[in-house]
Amino acid sequence: MAGTKALLTLENFINGKFVPCSSYIDSYDPSTGEVYCRVPDSGNEEIEAAVEAARAAFPGWSARSPQERSQVLHRLADLLEKSLEDLAQAESRDQGKTVTLARTMDIPRSVQNFRFFASSILHHTSECTHMDHVDCLHYTLRAPVGIAGLISPWNLPLYLLTWKVAPAIAAGNTVIAKPSELTSVTAWMMCKLLETAGVPPGVVNIVFGTGPKVGEALVSHPEVPLISFTGSQPTAERIAQLSAPHCKKLSLELGGKNPAIIFEDANLEECIPTTVRSSFANQGEICLCTSRIFVQKSIYSEFLKKFVAATRMWKVGIPSDPSANMGALISKAHLEKVRSYVKKARAEGARILCGEGVDMLSLPPKNQAGYFMLPTVITDIKDESCCMKEEIFGPVTCVVPFDSEEEVIQRANSVKYGLAATVWSSNVGRVHRVAKKLQSGLVWSNCWLIRELNLPFGGMKSSGIGREGAKDSYEFFTEVKTITIKH
């Protein structure tokens, strides 16, 4: 382990200044298992300071025109883009994902989040209607809510943080963001760019630390009327409890147990590589990843054979290896949790066709204590098994056969989650029918993870409350008022 002096030490960013903290948490490099960074272990005191800064900055920032705020967002996007390579390297080291993925997805999308909301904020209109019989004109006005509390997870650190910061400040709010304590580095790097971009002190405050300590201090603060949260369902429950006495506005983007439904008329040439990617991209640590694959019986054997062969080609490697498709999982505890699901499946009599416990993973000596795991395919498993019901959030996917359209819809809907589904078929009528009946906030057909940021994003059932996107985020980050004038 490196000595304390060599460790990267982060500081909170409050009122436009970096502020040291009195205590710190160790942060690990997932590819080596070594501590490499210290993250502030903030609490009530830091939240109080951030609230004071955000409160003071609110009148000035909310009074700026959308055009002025838009320019600031564009400048920040440009600065992030200039630092793309440094941010990608840092994201990979902090999270365990490959540098290639951070360079081609996480950081470009973070840049895009600012550009997108810089543009969309200019195009909202309010509503207006006239009631002839009483001579009344009705119209709506929208205003920023105030101080927005933003809590984000570790799987797509900068990408999901900026997906909240950008719409919140574009709409005129000031924010206090709390990234995951496991992946705080790129948020801290972004803070260094805020002043140059023209973000006034106090508009964006970032406090680092754990959920139970600084997260709860933020959620419970009476002057933070709105919480936008992305993370797990148990944490969402706790946030909802803490927010209830204050009637806070809540947006909850939670987990999934996402089905892929593969009909016999699917184009397997496209379906197989996409389903390997949808199962194992980012080590399976994306809320939208596929983890239950239903395959129509007539093509089941063929699919399984080809899918397992393609999974074996999905290379696990050190994150800097350009030929690696997958890096390390986020933490030792998470790796153990993911492995425990495979163990349970085996104990229940399911078959593990490749990956964990079946194939050998070879790593350089330096990375042998890293949190690596092979992509794993499970079959002969019952729908009632925890591997088919619970979110594993790792490189594990289950493949099972089905007979009919009605049956597969019912089975796909039989979990508590409802985030994302994919449907593979060349029959357009069937795709429309199935998409309509699936209990899922997002349905992709013959593709995966193609995003139109204008349209609603989010889940139903235990996958969340509310949606994000151009109009949805704008509505969430503003309060609406209806005005009626009789003339």
Active site residue ranges: 253
CB closer to ligand NAD out of 29 and 41: 41
Cβ atoms of residues 18 and 190 within 8 Å: no
CB closer to ligand NAD out of 326 and 352: 326
Q: Which residues contact 59 (CB under 8 A, 6 or more apart)?
A: none
In angstroms, what is the minimal distance from the CB of 163 to ligand NAD?
8
CB closer to ligand NAD out of 178 and 339: 178
Q: Which residues contact 357 (CB under 8 A, 6 or more apart)?
A: 342, 346
Backbone region of residue 32 per phi and psi (left: phi > 0; alpha: psi in -120 to 50; beta: other values): alpha
Question: Shortest CA distance to 343 belongs to which of 394, 275, 280?
Answer: 394
C-alpha–C-alpha distance, residues 357 and 265, integer Å: 33
CB atoms within 10 A of CB 101: 23
Residue 195's Cα: distance from chain center in Å?
26
Question: Shortest CA distance to 189 belongs to which of 32, 79, 108?
Answer: 79
CB closer to ligand NAD out of 163 and 303: 163
CB closer to ligand NAD out of 182 and 431: 182
CB closer to ligand NAD out of 177 and 318: 177
Residue 194's Cα: distance from chain center in Å?
22
In angstroms, what is the minimal distance from the CB of 474 to ligand NAD?
18
In angstroms, what is the minimal distance from the CB of 330 to ligand NAD?
8
Q: Cβ-closest residue to ligand NAD?
A: 211
Cβ atoms of residues 221 and 149 within 8 Å: yes
In angstroms, what is the minimal distance from the CB of 160 to ligand NAD?
6
C-alpha torsion 387→235→104→468, nearest 10: 110
C-alpha–C-alpha distance, residues 320 and 33, integer Å: 15
Q: Which residues contact 339 (CB under 8 A, 6 or more apart)?
A: 356, 373
C-alpha–C-alpha distance, residues 205 and 61, integer Å: 14
Bridging pattern class, strands 34-40 and 24-29:
antiparallel
In angstroms, what is the minimal distance from the CB of 178 to ligand NAD?
6
Q: Which residues contact 303 (CB under 8 A, 6 or more apart)?
A: 262, 268, 272, 295, 399
In angstroms, what is the minimal distance from the CB of 188 to ligand NAD?
14
Nearest-10 crossing angle of helices 157-170, 185-197: 30
User: Which stretches of the chain bind ligand NAD, using CB under 6 A?
Assistant: 151-155, 160, 178, 180-181, 210-212, 215-216, 219, 230-232, 235, 238-239, 253-256, 287, 391, 393, 419, 459, 464
CB closer to ligand NAD out of 232 and 414: 232
In angstroms, what is the minimal distance from the CB of 393 to ligand NAD?
5
- Phi then psi for residue 234, to 5 deg, are -60, -40
In angstroms, what is the minimal distance from the CB of 329 to ligand NAD?
11
C-alpha–C-alpha distance, residues 348 and 346, integer Å: 5
Question: Shortest CA distance to 316 belongs to which of 290, 343, 283?
Answer: 283
CB closer to ligand NAD out of 197 and 239: 239
CB closer to ligand NAD out of 47 and 409: 47
In angstroms, what is the minimal distance from the CB of 209 to ligand NAD?
8
C-alpha–C-alpha distance, residues 475 and 71, integer Å: 21
Give 94's Cβ-side CA count (13 Å radius).
Answer: 33
